[in-house]
Amino acid sequence: MVETAYALYLLISIAITIWVAHTLHSHGEVFLIQCFGHDAVLARSTNDLLVVGFYLVNIGFITLTLSLGNEPTTYADAIRFLSSKVGLAVLVLGGMHFFNMSAIARFGRKVNDWLVESGPAAAAA
């Protein structure tokens, strides 16, 4: 029972992490290109780095939370165990997403301003 609950937790949480990372990576590039002054190379590079960081933080969090809480002894305990652990992992995924979006929007505007300032006029000088 315990091993099955832990295996299901890892399987579900990591599958959700992979799905979210893939979705953010495939749909986030347009947003990043806009934030980074239409510099597609910088946007793709940043997008790839964000996915790596996303995986590292989330999989680290998922594995660290394995030791939290009581081990399930009944099916009802297993359902509570899975719902609380997967729910916590999903909340962390959502929190990371909003943090990343906020940071990218804020820093992306700065990068965009830098790119505009050092654009063709700066290159001609």
Write out the E strands in 25-111. none
- Is 7:63 a contact under the CB 8 Å cutoff? no
What one-letter code names the amino acid at 103? A
Task: Going residue by residue through the chain, which has 125 residues, state the pLDDT in tens, using 9 for 90 and above.
Answer: 788 888 998 999 999 999 989 998 998 888 888 877 788 898 899 889 989 988 998 899 899 888 888 888 889 998 998 899 889 888 988 888 888 788 877 776 666 666 667 665 544 44
Cα end-to-end span (Å), the chain: 71
Residue 123 in any domain: the answer is no
State the pTM of this model: 0.73
**Helices in 36-74 by DSSP H: which ranges?**
40-64
Q: How far apart are CA 29 and CA 105, in angstroms?
A: 13
Residue 39 in any domain: the answer is yes
Q: At what angle do helices 75-117 and 40-64 cross, to 10 degrees?
A: 150
Structure tokens belonging to residue 13: 């949480």
Structure tokens belonging to residue 39: 């510099």
Q: What is the pLDDT of residue 119?
A: 61
Q: What is the pLDDT of residue 116?
A: 65
Residue 125 in any domain: the answer is no
Nearest by Cα to 44 from 32, 27, 52: 32
Structure tokens belonging to residue 48: 């790839």
Q: What is the pLDDT of residue 112?
A: 64
Residue 66 in any domain: the answer is yes
Residue 103 in any domain: the answer is yes
Number of domains in the chain: 1
Q: What is the pLDDT of residue 15?
A: 93
Residues in the chain: 125
Residue 100 in any domain: the answer is yes
Residue 41 in any domain: the answer is yes
Which residue range forms the structural domain that includes residue 32? 2-116
Residue 124 in any domain: the answer is no
